[in-house]
Every structure is written in structure tokens, then in C-alpha cells.
Chain A
Amino acid sequence: MSASIAPECNSIKEKYDTCFLKWYSEKYLRGNTTSNECDELFSKYKKCLNIVLKEKGIESMLEDARKSMKDSEAE
């Protein structure tokens, strides 16, 4: 599995990734699109990740990138 930018989040990320891959291949791609079985793991992973994104100053960079993405859609 790919590594997280935040080494301390690797283990929760791996759990989440595994859950997602199972859900995606066994349910979503087979037409069962309403499910939240990985939500809990995802919010734990995100909580871990967000701390690091803030520390590294990536969060503000993300906002800018999203903005310019919207701009280019509007063009």
C-alpha cells in the first residue's frame, strides 16, 4: 500500500485503504453505491492526517489549488 505523507498515520491509513478497496471492488463497482462502512476509519485517518497537513502548511496550499481548479472549470 502507498505510504502516507505522515508516517504516524500509516497504520490507520492502511486499515482505511483496505476497507475502501474491499468496498469499492465488492460493492460500489457492482452497483451497491450506498454504504458507509469505511466512514469511521476514514474520519480517524483524516483526523490524523489533518494535523500534519496543517503543520506542514499544506492546508493553505490545498485551498489555493482547489480555488484555481474551480476557476479553470468556470472558464
Chain B
Amino acid sequence: MKFFENVFTYDYSFPAVSLAYFLRYPNPYSRHVLTTDVIDRYVDPKTHRLHTTRLHLKKSKVPSGILKLLPKGIGGSDSSGQSYILETTIVDAKEGWMKTESRNMEWTGILSVIEKQVYQRQPNEGAVGRLEELSLEEKRSEQTTVRTTVTFHSRFGQGKLLGRKKTEHTGDHTGEYEEEAPKRGLFSSLSTAGIQRTIELIGLNRTRDAVVKSKQGMNVVLERLRSGGVVGVLEGMRQDRDAVLGPDGGPWKRVWLGGNGHASLKEDDH
């Protein structure tokens, strides 16, 4: 297993940061996020905490470094270049914190990536702590700290390649591999540990970039929130889209499906 940890402080109030979190897609740094859906949401009647479960569809190519390590057929031809991410969030507005957890839903045997974040309001000196006084507008001295922890775990070669049951998307190649895995001898099991470490490291390296991008995205949304409120954020999203698509929106679909997951959207895969 590998771990990544990072602590960062936003110069924005907790309400603003938590709102920006729910509003963060799309932003100019999130071109790889194709869709976002809320699949569950409720306020716990006892704790008054808001629980949310969202499903994101992200564009992600299996890194070529990992691809090379995999048996033929896995992660290769059939890979749609998209992956599902399950995100759960709990907000406690009174106590001023938010906890999030995101995990990949497929290929968890090859590499399971679990990102946890804790957002915490930083009490500013001499401030009135009453909730009614918290506004979405910037309070100069108010800050929110976020601690990000990411865990990488590869069970590659342990015969549980895809975690649990097969899914329709990956079923074709699963059986083949699961039969193969238990037959491995001591020699190959030694190298399996090496492969697992390598896969985890590749994931770790990618995450460093992703964490930076995600902060940049949050900051764009927070800045729009400060200058124009929720309406300002929505207007910003529209402008981003127009800038990419042109006024007629013609190449929308092409960009949507063919982007390379980075900020540059001019590439065309066709």
C-alpha cells in the first residue's frame, strides 16, 4: 500500500468552500469529468448532517506503464477510457466540517484508490461564532483547511483481480485472469509484489498532479462565488463551455468524447 497526504488552506469561509465542493464541476481544470449525478442525499434527523452520494464519470486512460504489466486483454482493447467514481460527503454545518470519500468502482483489484478529505473551518480570532453570521461572502480572516489522504492498494495477482463480482463491462476478460492467478508459483509471486508496488507508484504519481488540478479548479469556483454568487459560478460554467465550443456548440460532442483528459481541448481523437 502507498499513501499520499496533503494539507492545504483555502482563504475562504467554510460555507463557501463546501458550496464550491458541490459546485466544482465543470471548471476549467476538470475537463476529464464527463458527468456527475446525485444518487442519494438526505439530512440525518438526529445529527442534522447532510449526507450525499454522487457518481462521477471520468475520462481516464489506464497509464501505459500499468498497461504493460497487465496480462493481454486486460485494460487494453475493451477499455472505454472512462471510469466511475463513487463520492460520499458528510457536511456538519454547525460544527463547520465536511468529510468526503472518493473511490474507483472498477479495476479495484488492479488498483484501488481511495481519497479522503476533511474540510475544517478555522476559527478566526475575535470572530463571532454564531452560524447566522456566516455568509458566503468572503470574510477576510476566515479560512478553511483541507487534509487530503489518498490510499493506493493493488491486489494484482492475488486472484481477486476485480474485487468482487464481475460487471457487465469487464466480464469478458475477468474469467481468463482469475483462473490464471492461483497457479502462480513462488518465483512469480515474488515478482507480483514488485508489480503491485509499481502499479501503486504509478497511481501515486498521477495523484500528485490531480490534487494540484483539483485545488486550482476549486479556487476558480471559489473566486466566481465570491464575485458573483451561485449565479456567477453558473455563468462561468457557461462561458467556459462557449469558449471551448464556439457559439453554435457544434463540436460539443466531439470534444466531450474525444478530449484527452487534460486542460487542452483542442485535440481531436478522430
Which residues from chain A sit less than 8 Å from chain B, CB to CB? 1-6, 9, 13, 16-17, 20-22, 24-25, 28-31, 33-34, 42, 45-46, 49, 53, 57-58, 60-62, 64-69, 72
A1 close to B237 (CB less than 8 A): yes
Q: List 24 A-B contacts (CB under 8 A).
A: A1-B234, A1-B237, A2-B35, A3-B36, A5-B55, A13-B38, A20-B41, A25-B19, A25-B136, A28-B91, A29-B15, A29-B18, A30-B132, A45-B38, A57-B168, A58-B55, A61-B167, A62-B39, A62-B105, A64-B164, A65-B105, A67-B164, A69-B101, A69-B103
Interface status of B43 (Cβ within 8 A of chain A): yes
In the complex, residue of chain B having the shortest beta-carbon distance to the beta carbon of A3: B35
Query: Interface residues of B, CB < 8 Å — how many?
Result: 46
Q: How far is the CB of B109 from chain A (nearest CB, A)?
A: 11
- Could you tell me the distance in whole angstroms from the C-beta of B217 to the nearest C-beta in chain A? 12
Q: Chain B 31-50 against A: per-residue CB contact (8 Å), 1 yes, 0 no?
A: 00111111101010100101
Tell me what chain B mostly uses at the interface: helix, strand, loop, or mixed. mixed
Contacts of B93 in A (CB 8 A): 28-29, 31, 33
With A and B bound together, what is the CA distance between A46 and B38 in angstroms?
A: 8
Cα(A68)–Cα(B147), bound, Å = 23
Q: Which residue of A lies closest to B43 (CB)?
A: A33
Are A29 and B19 in touch, CB under 8 angstroms? yes
Q: Give A2 to B30 CA distance when docked, in angstroms.
A: 11
Residue among A13, A24, A66, A67 facing the most chain B CB atoms (10 A cut-off):
A24
Residue B196 lies at the interface, judged by CB distance under 8 Å to chain A:
no
With the chains together, A29 CA to B94 CA distance in Å? 8
The answer to whether B41 touches A25, judged by C-beta atoms less than 8 angstroms apart, is no
- Chain A residues within an 8 Å CB radius of B114: 72
Q: Please give the distance in Å from B252's CB to the nearest CB on chain A.
A: 10
Interface residues of B in 25-71 (CB under 8 A from A): 25-26, 33-39, 41, 43, 45, 48, 50, 55, 57
A5 surroundings in chain B (CB, below 8 A): 34-35, 37, 55, 57
Q: Are A16 and B19 in contact (CB under 8 A)?
A: no
Complex Cα–Cα for A19 and B237 (A)? 18
Main secondary structure of the interface of A (DSSP, over half): helix
CA distance A21 to B36 in the complex (A): 15
Tell me which residues across on chain B come within 8 A of A46, comparing CB atoms.
Answer: 39
Asked if A2 and B105 sit within 8 Å, CB to CB, the answer is no
B187 CB within 8 Å of chain A: no
Residues from chain A with Cβ under 8 Å of B38 in the complex: 13, 16-17, 20, 42, 45
- Contact across chains for B55 and A62 when beta carbons are under 8 A apart: yes
Provide the bound-state CA to CA distance between A70 and B247, in Å. Answer: 46
B220 sits at the interface (CB 8 A): no
Q: How far is the CB of B32 from chain A (nearest CB, A)?
A: 13
A61 to chain B, nearest CB (A): 5
Beyond contacts A25-B136, A28-B50, A60-B167: 14 other A-B pairs, Cβ-Cβ < 8 A, are A2-B33, A3-B36, A4-B36, A20-B22, A21-B22, A21-B23, A24-B50, A25-B15, A31-B94, A31-B132, A49-B39, A58-B84, A62-B55, A67-B164
